[in-house]
Amino acid sequence: MAKNSAEWAAKPKFPSSHYVDSRIYTDQAIFDEEKEKLFKGSWIIACHESEIPNACDYRLFTHPTGVPLIIVRSEDMKVRSFYNICPHRGNTILYDPAGNAKRMTCIFHAWSFDTRGDCIDISRAEQGYQDRFCKEDAGLREVKAEAGFGGFVWVNLDDASCTLAEYIGPALDMLGPHMEEPMEVFHFHKAIVDTNYKLWHDTNSEFYHDFVHYFNRITGMMQPGYFDRKYVGYPNGHASVGSMEIKYDAYAGGKVRKVGWPGLAPGGWILIDIFPGMTYNLRTSVLRIDTVVPLGPNKLIVEFRGLGLKRDTKEERAERVFDHNTIWGPFGRNLHEDLLAVHGQGRAMREGTDSRWVIHGREENSTIHDEVGMRHFYAEWSKRMGRPSYDPLGEGRPAPARVAA
């Protein structure tokens, strides 16, 4: 039955853990608070070690809080991270997204820094600063950085944060045996979409949306084992989905994948979501990593990486690239569908549309179409934000109807 205004505004007939107020996706104040309470103290994937293989190689990364970072492999081969902000006049130090820089020199006034973040030269220092200020006073702001869990470089802006291992806990144990060999990034691209970052992460946290993917319906949903895949929630809001055997040859023109992955059953697929916006997606021959970089309540960058094994032969790598592109490349069957879907959510939920609730109410014994993965995420979100996701503004009652645009 269609609803009138009051019925549309009424809370869904589910427990409060099974729905959220859609203002958590649109409210600017909540978004600003998320940057401080969720992203600042979380470990975030900035890049992969293979992107900076040599001493003095660097990679730039804009942290989800907005802080511009340099990730650099120092001359002692340790990976470090610094603000890409000159301590002198606040200018950008490095401009190109990747490169090699033994000295990182700000073009504005030629202050130079080494790969440990120490200032090694202030132009005409004595003439201008006499004995009041020297290069020892002008180091870069260092950020905690650790490489791990498949050779990814993780950063954390909070000096007092827990360790990366404590943050991840057992969440990536299922993938551990499959990430012992060195990996290498072969694909990177960004997509900017008008949607909220949580909606992208939600898409990676539920498989009920396989109905949008013809490829997944044919190769997965219609195959044995699909409905046995189970969600497992872990501390800190992480969650995983178990494997099944994907029948790639069930898709017209598809074929059984020629290359596999160490320790993974043929056609296997493991997906693990890391709070608040990263996903490990190991699908038979390729590992895909998503990292969200929110730009606003309704604007998002997703960074996509595809990885193979460092030891790949030319032929093996070509197979992995082909497999990646078939579904996950910028012209792949599934990626466009997923991005189109969250674009549609952003369009329907943007401020002024009178969108009210988002339901996470499916219960199927934690199996593949259960929405427990999202419920697990929003329980953690609510705890860290100090706001229940079903009543984020503390109204304790259905929010007043917003005027439709």
Partner 1 sequence: MEQRQQIEELIYRSCMALDDRDFKGFLEMCDAGFHYSITAYSPEIRKDMVWLDHDKAGMESLFTTLPRHNSDHSPLMRHATVYTVKIEGRHAEVVSALQVFRTALDGGATELFAVARLLDSVGLDGGTPKLARRVVKMDTRQLGYGYHIPF
Nearer to partner 1 by Cβ, of 257 and 375: the residue is: 257
For the bound state, the minimum distance from the C-beta of residue 23 to partner 1, rounded and expressed in Å, comes to 23
Nearer to partner 1 by Cβ, of 15 and 182: the residue is: 182
The CA distances from residue 162 to 86, 159, 175, 261, 390, in Å, are: 28, 9, 22, 32, 28
For the bound state, the minimum distance from the C-beta of residue 344 to partner 1, rounded and expressed in Å, comes to 9
For the bound state, the minimum distance from the C-beta of residue 338 to partner 1, rounded and expressed in Å, comes to 9
For residues 106 and 95, the answer to whether their CB atoms sit within 8 Å is no
For the bound state, the minimum distance from the C-beta of residue 134 to partner 1, rounded and expressed in Å, comes to 36
* 229: exposed, middle or buried (Cβ count in 10 Å: 0-12, 13-18, 19+): buried
Place of tokens 């130090």: 93
Q: Which residues contact 61 (CB under 8 A, 6 or more apart)?
A: 46, 47, 68, 69, 71, 155
Nearer to partner 1 by Cβ, of 133 and 211: the residue is: 211
362 CB neighbour count, 10 Å cutoff: 15
Place of tokens 């699909």: 226
For the bound state, the minimum distance from the C-beta of residue 44 to partner 1, rounded and expressed in Å, comes to 16
For the bound state, the minimum distance from the C-beta of residue 144 to partner 1, rounded and expressed in Å, comes to 22
The CA distances from residue 43 to 61, 146, 171, 174, in Å, are: 14, 9, 13, 19
For the bound state, the minimum distance from the C-beta of residue 127 to partner 1, rounded and expressed in Å, comes to 38
Nearer to partner 1 by Cβ, of 268 and 329: the residue is: 329
For the bound state, the minimum distance from the C-beta of residue 7 to partner 1, rounded and expressed in Å, comes to 29
Residue 343, H or E segment: helix 333-349
Nearer to partner 1 by Cβ, of 188 and 208: the residue is: 188
- What DSSP state is assigned to residue 180? -
Nearer to partner 1 by Cβ, of 38 and 185: the residue is: 185
Nearer to partner 1 by Cβ, of 30 and 321: the residue is: 321
Q: Which residues form the interface with partner 1 (CB under 8 A)?
A: 51, 59, 96-98, 185-193, 212-215, 251-253, 321-322, 325, 329-331, 333, 335-337, 339-343
What is the sign of the dihedral through the CA atoms of 340, 342, 343 and 344?
positive
395 CB neighbour count, 10 Å cutoff: 10
Q: Which residues contact 127 (CB under 8 A, 6 or more apart)?
A: none
Cα distance between residue 256 and residue 248, in whole Å: 5
Nearer to partner 1 by Cβ, of 318 and 399: the residue is: 318
